[in-house]
Amino acid sequence: MNLKEKLVNFNKSDNFWVALLRDVIFVVAVVVIFSSVSHIALGLWTPMVAVESGSMLPNIHIGDIVFIESFDRSEIITYETGTRTGYTSFGDYGNVILYNKLGQKGSTPIIHRAMYYVEEGEPMWNGGPAAPHAGYITKGDNNIGFDQQGDISYRQPVKEEWVIGVARFNRLPVVGYVSLIPRKILDM
């Protein structure tokens, strides 16, 4: 039996184990293709995040999937610049960015809007403390104060190297619950 005949038999087999192996191979192939295409297009192997909190309401909801383009391939347009140029994304001025809280790679990333950029020593907001280093001042659309005023990124502007990427396209509503529900159950 030559290779072509073996592949035809494998493809047509009714054996449970062969069918299971065929399905696993198919799923692995789809994941490899999707990851490769997303890495080429957006610069990240996993370019989607499931939104876990309501901090970006009404523009991004809990359970939404948001596509992220790598920081290396993006220019971040802040809220401040967006108001001058008219640039909007996700229902308001400027870009929504995904960043590692205080640069910690093991923690859940934060997805908030880049409000403006400060240099080291500049006040982080009117009457606020001086920035210990250069970076972005960020805020959730549904939050009252900046991340740097509260416990999200207390008195630490978001350094460029903490930024994972920029939210792109539009949100996919509800799809993120497929990822969030099992995580919440496991955290109980």
Catalogue the long-range contacts made by 69-73 (C-beta closer than 8 Å, 24 or more residues apart).
69/42, 69/43, 69/44, 69/165, 69/166, 69/168, 70/42, 70/43, 70/44, 70/164, 70/165, 71/97, 71/160, 71/163, 71/164, 71/165, 71/166, 72/43, 73/42, 73/43
Identify the band that residue 11 occupies on the pLDDT scale cut at 50, 70 and 90. confident
- CA atoms of 66 and 24, how far apart (whole Å): 27
Residue 164, pLDDT score: 96
Structural domains present in the chain = 3-42 (no CATH), 48-187 (2.10.109.10)
pLDDT (tens digit, 9 = 90+) per residue, 27-70? Answer: 888 888 887 777 777 777 778 999 999 999 999 999 999 999 99
Residue 76, pLDDT score: 98
pLDDT (tens digit, 9 = 90+) per residue, 107-130? Answer: 899 999 999 999 999 999 999 999
